[in-house]
Amino acid sequence: MTTRSAAIFALVASTAAIALPALAADVTPERLVNADKEPQNWLMNHRTYDGQRFSPLARINRDNVKGLKLAYAVPLGGGAGNEFNEATPLAEDGFLYVTDSWGVLYKIDARSGDVGRIVWRMDPKQERQQANRGAALWGNLVITPANGPARMIATDKETGKVVWETNVAFGAARMNNTGAPLVIKNKVLFGAAGSDAGWRGWIAALDAATGKREWLTYTIPAPGEPGHETWKGNNNAWQTGGGAVWLTGTYDPASNQTIWGTGNPVPMMDAYARPGDNLYTNSAISYDPDTGKMNWFFQYTPGDHWDYDEAHTHILIDGVVDGQPRKLITHSARNGFTYTFERSNGQVLLAKPYMDNINWTKGIDQKTGKPIDYDPNRDVQIYAGVAAPTPDKPVARLCPNRMGGANFWPTSYSPRTKLLYIPAMTAARTSPTAGNWPSAARIKAGTSARAAATGRRSAMKASSPWSIPSPAR
């Protein structure tokens, strides 16, 4: 078991023991809408539909947090070396549901607080490891992603038996299914990961009871669809354009809209191979969860050179702006800025840096939300002109680097302090051209040496989503 796995279960063990019932009730749509009324439980990936990841539990506080220690550890995996865990465990009445990098789903009895007992395992029989970020609950089912091939699997939460299993590649042979699904009403929403391999990203919904596909919406518009004009040139780059939806969205029951972020355009670091703004990559998109129809969108970094995808959480907040109550969305972007929007239409209210030494742009236009050096007359953006690679100058120093800023590790928001808490990586690096980018394996293997060379460090940033202080220096 990895260090990450142990840390997760040490935290959950400290809180799960307060729940006493032996059998959990069905997880109904009403329970999910009112998940904040069950403080002892964590019923979905973000705990609540708003994505705030705030727990009202108060037994651990600033006075006693220094006394935390490992309560117990539950070994996961065991099928190979270098296993890892990126899943958020779900907690319902003292039982935990978590996946590992083999896609194996575990039900763990954590009620005693002294030991975690594995009740059952569901093994999807993957041929290789793949990131797996967790489960969703609906009725008496635990619904999880799996790969090799890409699938969605519903497991009976009492018996551990598979109820339905759906192949979700939907024509994209190299598609990965990595994000925790989001159940809205009676549908299971999820996005396609892995479009860096060269295909069109999409978001889809399955019937939660049967696994039957209900709808699928592409994030890259085809000819004749709005936004296709932003894929310029004659090489049909849109057909392999990327725009993966690889992390879990949020949902506003009052307006019946669900907000998801999309990934980078493809080829990843070669904007000259796909001139134009490349909609709807690097975007926040509001969808109708019943039909998959787009309500509105906002694009953060048009014509991205740097893998600044924005698939991670868009948090819903009820706030006050200029003395008026507002329904807001906030997002700490990989490009180094925090954006706050009007929830009804995606109108930008403000954008401010949460990272130091940002150099790819000179700033964000507070009215449009676009970089102030965005030039609508250019097919390929250069922004500030110092970080964008060009055919004549293929290497440039980039801050933040291609990992961000924020990434798949989630930001949280406290309604008590009115602050966002943004886990971020502070780094700048010299960026090779697209053809010379290190492989994922090399990036992972070279972390220590690269950190020394680039000054990379991790940081936790606390920031107000509706005021604009200067970033810390």
Rounded CA separation 87/135 (Å): 8
3-state SS string for the chain: CCHHHHHHHHHHHHHHCCCCCCCCCCECHHHHHCHHHCCCCECCCCCCCCCCCCCCCCCCCCCCHHHCCCCCCCCCCCCCCCCCCCCCCEEECCEEEEECCCCCEEEEECCCCCCCEEEEEECCCCCCCCCCCCCEEEECEEEEEECCCCEEEEEECCCCCEEEEEECCCCCCCCECCCCCEEECCEEEEECECHHHCCECEEEEEECCCCCEEEEEECCCCCCCCCHHHCCCCCCHHHHCECCCCCCCEEECCCCEEEEECCCECCCCCHHHCCCCCCCCCEEEEECCCCCCEEEEEECCCCCCCCCCCCCCCEEEEEEECCEEEEEEEEECCCCEEEEEECCCCCEEEEEECCCCCCCCCCECCCCCCECCCCCCCCCCCCCCCCCCCCCCCCEEECCCCCCCCCCCCCEEECCCCEEEEEEEECCEEECCHHHCCCHHHHHHCHHHHHHHHCCEEEEEEECCCCCCCCCC
Rounded CA separation 473/454 (Å): 18
* Phi then psi dihedrals of residue 449, to 5 deg: -65, -40
For the question of residue 63 being annotated catalytic, the response is no
Q: What contacts 357, CB < 8 A, 6 or more positions away?
A: 399, 428
Q: Are 154 and 141 in contact (CB under 8 A)?
A: yes
- Return the structure tokens found at 174: 């190299």
* Phi then psi dihedrals of residue 30, to 5 deg: -65, -40
How many angstroms from the chain centroid is the CA of residue 330? 14
Rounded CA separation 192/245 (Å): 5
State the catalytic residue, choosing from 307, 318, 365, 373: 307
Q: What contacts 470, CB < 8 A, 6 or more positions away?
A: none
Burial class (CB within 10 angstroms; exposed 0-12, middle 13-18, buried 19+) of 175: buried
Query: Known catalytic residues?
Result: 307
